[in-house]
Amino acid sequence: MRKIEMEIVALTHSITQSHSYAVVLGEVGGIRRLPIVIGGFEAQAIAVALEKMSPTRPLTHDLMKSLCESFNVEVKEVIINNLLDGIFYAQLICRNGSEVVEIDSRTSDALALAVRFDCPIYTYEFILDSAGLVMEENMKEEKLEVKETKPEKKVSTANFRMADLAKYSNQELNSLLQSLLEKEDYEQAIAVRDEISRRKSQT
């Protein structure tokens, strides 16, 4: 399968779940986004590396990097290789001299190490198809092909509640999804995306 390179474009706090965050991966050279919900400790580990901070005592992922370097092991790339029941799975592709080893990992840990080793992050098309979000700009060509369109009904995110998703029409859900993406509220965008996918699977 062809690998698609991703990069970390945002790390946001969840407004619907305490102690929960979303790390957002962006397609390199593209406009697709892959938001992944992670815990607070994992978010801290990623944020510390992104901001190039130096804690007085090494965090777990800093310790893992030191151990790898001590034994001449280098993390060459991270692959988010599967998605089952809403859970992302990842692999570390490591090199020790001429030997290449694949190690299963939690996605949050893999991303924390990817930042520290400055290695590329990849995923596959089927994962982006299942869990990716596409920004509004990606729809421009399709809109040009439509000669007559009705104005889209805008849905305010101010009064939006997760429990009300079933009440929205498909058009309203798509409008709401774009509004949430513009506000970078990725976790609620995930819920809307999942509702849209659920409806498509039933047709």
Which residue segment(s) compose the domain that 50 sits in?
3-131
Count of structural domains, the chain:
2
Residues 20 and 72 occupy one common structural domain? yes
Residues 125 and 184 occupy one common structural domain? no
Residues 55 and 153 occupy one common structural domain? no
Residue 14 is predicted with a pLDDT of 59
Residue 152 is predicted with a pLDDT of 39
Q: Where would I find the H helices in 28-76?
A: 40-50, 60-70
Residues 67 and 152 occupy one common structural domain? no
Residue 21 is predicted with a pLDDT of 86
Q: Name the domain boundary from 110, 131, 152.
A: 131
Instruction: Write the CATH number for 118.
Output: 3.10.690.10
Structure tokens of 176? 């709401």
Residues 46 and 111 occupy one common structural domain? yes
Per-residue pLDDT reduced to its tens digit, 15-64: 555 567 889 999 999 989 999 989 888 888 898 898 887 777 888 999 99
Residues 47 and 104 occupy one common structural domain? yes
Q: Name the domain boundary from 79, 111, 131.
A: 131
Residues 123 and 63 occupy one common structural domain? yes
The pTM for the full model equals: 0.70
Residues 68 and 165 occupy one common structural domain? no
Per-residue pLDDT reduced to its tens digit, 87-123: 999 999 999 989 999 999 999 999 999 999 999 999 9
Residues 174-181: contacts with CB within 8 Å, 24+ apart?
Answer: 177/133, 178/135, 178/136, 179/154, 179/155, 181/33, 181/133, 181/135, 181/136
Give the end-to-end CA distance of the chain in Å, rounded to a whole number. 28
Residue 144 is predicted with a pLDDT of 28
Rg (CA), the chain: 19
Q: Which residue has the tokens 């992104």?
A: 50
